[in-house]
Structure 1
Amino acid sequence: MKSLFLLLTVLFSFGLFGQEKLVLQNLFDATLSEEVSCYRIPALTTAPNGDLLAAIDERVASCSDLGTNPNINIVLRRSTDHGKTWSEIEKVADFPEGQSASDPSFIVDMQTKNILLFYNYMNVNEEKGVYYFHVMKSNDNGKSWSAPQDITSQISEKDWSRDFKFITSGRGIQRRSGQLLHTLVNLEHGLHLFGSDDHGKTFFVRDKPLLPGDESKVVERADGSLMVNSRVNSGGMRYAHFSGKNEATWHAEPQPELIDPSCNASMIRYTEKADGFSKNRILFSNAKNNRERKNMTVRISYDEGQSWGEGKTIYQGLAAYSTMTILENGNIGLLFEGDGYTKNYFTQFSLEWLTDGKDRLNKHSKKKY
């Protein structure tokens, strides 16, 4: 009996399949600062050297969005030990009072080993309602950043100057060809893809809008086509946009199984057979509820986004925007807004934990994990 009791104690302490219980780390908490109103809109990525970078809005004047807030900075924390510990908060984009930067997102260029950090900018005092797009670059795994580059004229039209437009927060992708690709939203003219064919020296925007669509994420499918998963502001579910192989044609499909309270979500490629993995896998995280921002859940698609499993609840309480990355060891990293925008939780878990032991990584891939 004693040995059985000890065995059960070990199982419950470490969880099923020899893994520790889910640990939530609150990386950004405005209640700990007298100067910050709230931290919102997280972005998360894995640097080429394996470091984790977590960026977010530091909203000083109030918790309101870019259009009316005269003091929002982009701040960042780093982990050099796979998410066990994190650095102090450092400012990455910090403009004078009256100018704000918001909605960070990353693309890691694995060919050049550079990291691109995008955000939306506004001079609230002098050009209130006029949105600009900026990018900063790092060639040292996010330890230092270039001066901001204004790419607004490259990825938007002249008649968009006073439209409500923004680059989606979270992250974009690098395709197998090396092309960088991301999403931006113009609430007057629709969802658009933008990117770069020369590693961020210049940028383009696709003129064909995808509708319906708000904040969105894009992945390259195994056959080279694209899938964009979109927030919409009615109906309580997500929409998916699928391209043909040459992107000349697109079609939109409602995804009623992906219930959603009209909130930004995350979607990333996890594994692909072309890299030596046994299965194609795409991950999706959102607040799994059709009315309220709560119940943060992560799901898997094994058929390139045509269908999704029920997923596993990560956090039952209030939860909103989320962003994911893959750690060097193959764990899935998740950063999400929680508890009514007062906390921003980071956690990580394995594929085996996520699937209750039904799926696991094979060990013959070309990637580190």
Structure 2
Amino acid sequence: MTDVTVPFRAGHEGYAGFRIPAVVACRPPSRPPSTGGTPTGTLLAFCEGRADSLADHGHIDIVLKRSTDGGRTWGPLEVAASNGKNLAGNPAPVVLDTGRILLVHVRAAAGATEAAILRGHVADADGRRVWVQHSDDDGVTWSKPREITGQVKKPGWRWYATTPGHALQLTSGRVLVPANHTLPPTGTDTGAEARYNGGHCLLSDDRGATWYLGYLDENTDGYINVNETTAAELPDGRVYFNARNDSPSPGNRADAHSRDGGRTLVKPFRPQAGLTAPICEASVLQLRDPDLLLLSAPADPAARALMTLRASGDGGTTWRTALTVDGLPAAYSDLVRIDKDTVGLLYETGDFGAYETITFRRIPVTRLT
């Protein structure tokens, strides 16, 4: 049995590199969402295929590979979303109770660098815009993309990113996509670099037909700077959000809860000092049997390395180390429940750098409990 596979390797299959992993487990249309959090079916591993370099701008496609044996082997590379020679990125897939897969993502002009966007030097039409498409056949074919920017991005926001990682459908049926944005500086220098990240989420109550903004967390005091965010629905119905924090508060992570399905936060994001990590994306996943909230992230405080799974039995208040994968370089990741006995981890790693591969690891649940 193969527990570790490499779906994506830099410099192969027509792309200079692969970044920003996301993974979901498909569900046959006749099967309702499992309250045990144990979907069955094809695994879809998404990421950005960066054609010319590892840069965050340029010609970038959203690519995927499919596995029908729980991640032990993977099919050929396919393009799920393309924007020509421009950017389609930050895949945020979610499997609905109908079996349909939504793929929310961002698009931008190839030359729209992050620095230029943050300084307000990129026209709205060329900047980070939000799109959605769907698949009704386990990711084999995809609908034409549909733009939803006007519903979920406020005028004046500069940088914008969905997740990274998988999105959610809550038990209420609501679809929730964590996201982040930047606020322009206040004052007269409209060409200055945006200084503050803000957290928000996208919500849909009609399975992706229409969208609106949920909570907004826009702290500008320099202590909390919410960036890439991931979310999980807890057994008591609350939504738990965990975010990369780009300000020098303890641990480089921040978290928050919502009691109304992401519309508002109980309290603003606060530092989560129980999670030591570098400034980097992370992923959370709620297991229902056993009742365990998982987080995957690098655990070295200063470098993107030491991929580690942490576990919480109290909804994210406290954390313990559940599994240290290895001591190698590692960066972005995403988690998926494969079956009742197995969790899957899709993550960036390599022998000498974190962006050499996107690797998939099958992890027995018993190793986490």
TM-score, length-scaled by structure 2: 0.82
- Give the corresponding residue for 2:188: none
Does the alignment pair 1:153 with 2:150? yes
More helix by share: 1
Does the alignment pair 1:124 with 2:135? no
- Residue aligned with 1:153, SS: helix
Q: Which amino acid aligns with 1:197?
A: D
| Structure with bigger gyration radius | 1
Q: Which amino acid aligns with 1:32?
A: H
Is contact 1:223–1:245 with CA below 8 Å preserved after alignment?
A: no
- Give the corresponding residue for 1:365: none
Is contact 2:48–2:90 with CA below 8 Å preserved after alignment?
A: yes
Is contact 1:239–1:255 with CA below 8 Å preserved after alignment?
A: yes
Per-residue CA distance 1:311-342 (angstroms, 9 max, x = gap): 21112100000001001343100010002201
In 2, Cα distance between equivalents of 1:324 and 1:124: 29
**Superposition map of 1:257-296 within 5 A:** 257-271=274-288, 277=289, 279-296=290-307
Identity of aligned residues (%): 30
Among 54, 65, 84, the alignment partner of 1:63 is: 54
Among 143, 168, 182, the alignment partner of 1:187 is: 182
In 1, Cα distance between equivalents of 2:217 and 2:271: 17
Q: Which amino acid aligns with 1:75?
A: V
**Superposition map of 1:93-104 within 5 A:** 93-97=81-85, 99-104=86-91
Does the alignment pair 1:142 with 2:139? yes
Structure 1: segments with no counterpart, 5+ residues: 1-19, 272-276, 360-369
1:136 is displaced (CA, Å) by 1.2
Structure 2: segments with no counterpart, 5+ residues: 29-40, 113-121, 184-196
Is contact 2:323–2:367 with CA below 8 Å preserved after alignment?
A: no
CA RMSD of aligned residues (A): 2.0
- Give the corresponding residue for 1:10: none
- Give the corresponding residue for 2:309: 298
- Residue aligned with 1:347, SS: strand
In 2, Cα distance between equivalents of 1:221 and 1:210: 24
In 1, Cα distance between equivalents of 2:338 and 2:82: 29
- Residue aligned with 2:11, SS: helix
Does the alignment pair 1:31 with 2:14? no
Is contact 1:210–1:241 with CA below 8 Å preserved after alignment?
A: no
1:300 is displaced (CA, Å) by 1.4
- Residue aligned with 2:366, SS: helix
TM-score, length-scaled by structure 1: 0.82
Q: Which amino acid aligns with 2:79?
A: K
Does the alignment pair 1:351 with 2:365? yes
- Give the corresponding residue for 2:21: 42
Is contact 1:103–1:167 with CA below 8 Å preserved after alignment?
A: yes
In 1, Cα distance between equivalents of 2:3 and 2:339: 18
1:130 is displaced (CA, Å) by 0.9
In 2, Cα distance between equivalents of 1:204 and 1:115: 19
Residue correspondences, number? 321
